[in-house]
Amino acid sequence: MKVSIKEVSGVGKKYQEIFNSYNIFTSQDLILYFPKKYLSFKETSLLLAVDKTEVTVVGEVASLPIIIKHRNNLESLRFKLLVDNELYNIVAYRRGYLKESLKEGMEIQVRGQFKKRQKEINAINIILKPLKRELKPNYQIDGIYDSNISKIVYQIYQNKWFYIAENLPSDIIVKRGLLSRYEMVRILHFPSNKEALDKALYRLKYEEAFFFQEKIYQQFKSDNKVIKKARDYDLNIVKEFIERIPFELTDNQKAATNDLFKDFKAPHLKKRLIQGDVGSGKTIVVGIAIYGMKTAGFQSAFMAPTEILAFQHYQTFLKYFPDLEVALLTSSTKEKSKLKARINSGEIDLVVGTHALITDDTKFSNLGFVVIDEQHRFGVLARETLANKGEADLCYLTATPIPRTLGTVILGDMEISNIKEKPRDRKPIITYYLHQSKFDSVIEHLKKEINLNHNAYVVMPSIESETRGETVYTMYERLAAIFYDKVLLIHGKLPALEKEAVMATFKNNKGMILVSTTVVEVGVDVKEATMMIIYDGKYFGLSQLHQLRGRVGRSELQSYCYVLSDDSDLERLTIFKNTDDGFLLSEYDLEHRGPGEFLGLKQSGMIDFKYANLNDDFKLFLKAKEDVFSK
Ligand code: ADP
Ligand code: MG
């Protein structure tokens, strides 16, 4: 069967080492190492070709070849070749032996140096039976030419030093019209034409999507197998607690809260997605559930996408939930080991934190509930790691609604609660869409709001890049010249402590302006903020713009959102101006930018597939999901 790679003829010490550095140790490994891409061997158009460059053409022999003798025993073969109805002279040194094989009217392929003025090709290579379209595998193994790899792979095929096992169920192969795995592998190494190669690549991607879905399915099955410890929460204490909340829950909030308690009662682990527009009040809903968990003797974890948000949630919980023992755990937490000991002992009821929370040495004594805020910011890995920290019911919160199909493909089947209405005392935000040249009129409005002691955000697309024009710094200076110490500056690259300090100043003082990058995008809650100015709308997706707009209008005060642009983005920004429905805006994003863009996966890079791509191959993922889940 398989042999060590060094046994294959053509593989010496040097090649062996190179192969090993690519984790290729045996003939089998090399067969399962697929080309990274394919170079298509294109014919050159001689009409467009540049003098003295290398060209490849296919043409018809148009004259009987003759041999010309030169000095030093050198001879050349000469004939005319008809390419695209033009005659060219072919000169081939040391190719006298081809004279007899070249017949008039025969189709051949010639590669060589082009002399444009003389209409001549100095041939390097003459192939008598041209393959019209050749696809060359490109293995991207540094130090070994692709043609040599192909020869080595060919050797392995000749000797049958490999074994390919089918890994997909046969009914699915039939149903989806897929190639067998054996065929696929052969074509990946030796593609005869584009059509066959496309079929092979399709099967390769399908396989990847299939096994990804298989993993989700296994997770789903094992969730359903575990009989979890009963969460015997005390409904009366929870009800009393709800009575004490200083506002009345909306009907949707009440329904979502009930859904969570229903999940707790279920015998198996549950996953739920709570979707609700910015400001719809998701935090209090999970807060009540966390409180319920405490009455049942379980700990909870709340994961936020940024330190700013973790800090803010932490403060919210301190304020609304005085009976909970809450801890903040982020990468800048001091004395982590002490805190972790308190988490491990069960002394802490709720841990609020960022990714740092999921490092392996954070152990809970009795984790029962995990909340993941703005889940689209996290990849599958992060989620699963935290979820596996105990027998925890899981709840994702998102302000960017996910179409059901997309959600189930990447997260598996889960139940969804929607919070559609906003708390009663909110006024709709008035949105303006202006050309950047009108910025002065925005500043006039800004002066009025600041005089009323309201707060304002000015969001810039970048920290320092020149190409995007104004930056947080230039805008900060421009505004500081008018508003002096009323202006604050924040961006993602500031140290965490400084960010916290700036946010605290902004939150605790009236009439302040915060110039920022998108760090304020999700969740930040400052009630007196009435103005959101987004300097350059074209750099943001509609969902993102909507998130930003949701930073204002968080009290009974009238709020405003200005989007400035250079008019290159008329349709999109007009839709934004006229629509306050986050669900609709995200549908638009999904349609125009695809799921990858929409989910922020490109940035997080956490759902990385080797061959398939969630964005381009979304339909294939849907098929794989259907196949796996209907087995
Ligand atoms: P999001 O869903 O965007 O995370 P939050 O949970 O941060 O929204 O809630 C936004 C604000 O609305 C918070 O200040 C919260 O206290 C307040 N809030 C939540 N529910 C209600 C309600 N039913 N009535 C009035 N205010 C509410
Ligand atoms: Mg929130």
Alpha helices in 296-429 (DSSP H): 307-320, 336-345, 380-387, 404-411
Residue 425 lies in a domain: no
Of 80, 138, 85, 136, the closest CA to residue 110 belongs to: 80
The residue whose CA is least distant from atom 13 of ligand 1 is: 281
**What one-character DSSP code corresponds to residue 230?**
P
pLDDT score of 392 more than 90 = no
Of 559, 555, 557, 528, the closest CA to residue 247 belongs to: 555
- What is the CA(267)–ligand 2 centre distance, in A? 29
pLDDT digits (tens, 9 = 90+) for 513-539: 999 987 665 557 788 999 999 998 888
Bridge partner list, 415: 272
Confidence of residue 133 (pLDDT cuts 50, 70, 90): low
Prediction pTM value: 0.61
- Mean model confidence pLDDT for the chain: 86
Confidence of residue 218 (pLDDT cuts 50, 70, 90): confident
Q: What is the pLDDT of residue 468?
A: 60
Confidence of residue 47 (pLDDT cuts 50, 70, 90): confident
Cβ count within 10 A of residue 452: 12
Residue 454 lies in a domain: yes
In a 13 Å sphere around the CA of 35, the CA atoms on its Cβ side amount to 24
Confidence of residue 376 (pLDDT cuts 50, 70, 90): low
pLDDT digits (tens, 9 = 90+) for 244-286: 898 899 999 999 999 999 999 999 888 888 988 777 899 999 9
CB of residue 242 inside a 6 A radius of ligand 1: no
Query: Which pairing describes strands 367-373 and 350-353: parallel, antiparallel, or unpaired?
Result: unpaired
pLDDT score of 6 more than 50 = yes
36 and 151 in a single domain? The answer is yes
Q: What is the pLDDT of residue 264?
A: 94
> What value does the mean pLDDT take over residues 148-177?
95
- What is the CA(547)–ligand 1 centre distance, in A? 14
451 and 568 in a single domain? The answer is yes
149 and 57 in a single domain? The answer is no
Share of the chain above pLDDT 90, in %: 50
First-to-last alpha carbon distance for the chain, in angstroms, is: 33
Q: What is the pLDDT of residue 592?
A: 75
Residue 230 lies in a domain: no
Cβ count within 10 A of residue 624: 25
pLDDT digits (tens, 9 = 90+) for 441-467: 999 999 999 999 999 999 998 766 655
Ligand nearest to the CA of 284: 1
Share of the chain above pLDDT 70, in %: 89
Residue 424 lies in a domain: no
Cβ count within 10 A of residue 504: 12
Instruction: Please report, for the domain that includes residue 413, its CATH number.
Output: 3.40.50.300
Place of tokens 């996966």: 601
**Per mean pLDDT, which of 319-333, 474-488, 545-559 is the most reliable?**
474-488
Higher pLDDT, 614 or 234: 234
Q: What is the pLDDT of residue 406?
A: 72
pLDDT digits (tens, 9 = 90+) for 360-369: 678 899 999 9
Residue 604 lies in a domain: no
> Total structural domains in the chain?
5
Radius of gyration of the chain (CA): 33
Alpha helices in 35-141 (DSSP H): none
Of 390, 404, 358, the closest CA to residue 269 belongs to: 390
447 and 560 in a single domain? The answer is yes
| Helices and strands (DSSP H and E) totals, the chain | 21, 21
pLDDT score of 486 more than 90 = yes
154 and 211 in a single domain? The answer is no
CB of residue 523 inside a 6 A radius of ligand 1: yes
407 and 329 in a single domain? The answer is yes
pLDDT digits (tens, 9 = 90+) for 560-589: 999 999 877 888 999 999 998 877 787 787
147 and 289 in a single domain? The answer is no
357 and 445 in a single domain? The answer is no
* Cα–Cα dist 569/555, whole Å: 31
pLDDT digits (tens, 9 = 90+) for 295-314: 999 999 998 888 888 888 99
Q: What is the pLDDT of residue 389?
A: 54
The residue whose CA is least distant from atom 25 of ligand 1 is: 423
Instruction: Please report, for the domain that includes residue 56, its CATH number.
Output: 2.40.50.140
Taking CA atoms, 117 is separated from 289, 373, 520, in Å, by 82, 69, 64
Q: What is the pLDDT of residue 387?
A: 53
Residue 523 lies in a domain: yes
CB of residue 250 inside a 6 A radius of ligand 1: yes
- What is the CA(523)–ligand 2 centre distance, in A? 4
CB of residue 282 inside a 6 A radius of ligand 1: yes
324 and 380 in a single domain? The answer is yes
285 and 411 in a single domain? The answer is yes
CB of residue 612 inside a 6 A radius of ligand 1: no
Instruction: Please report, for the domain that includes residue 138, its CATH number.
Output: 1.10.150
Structural contact between residues 304 and 352, judged by C-beta atoms closer than 8 angstroms: yes
Higher pLDDT, 521 or 29: 29
563: CB partners within 8 A, 6+ apart = 431, 432, 433, 434, 534, 537, 545, 573, 576, 577
Structural contact between residues 304 and 573, judged by C-beta atoms closer than 8 angstroms: no
Structural contact between residues 552 and 513, judged by C-beta atoms closer than 8 angstroms: no
Higher pLDDT, 521 or 183: 183
pLDDT digits (tens, 9 = 90+) for 416-437: 898 887 777 778 899 999 999 9
Range of the domain at 137: 1-40+133-163
* Cα–Cα dist 380/614, whole Å: 13
- What is the CA(391)–ligand 2 centre distance, in A? 25
CB of residue 305 inside a 6 A radius of ligand 1: no
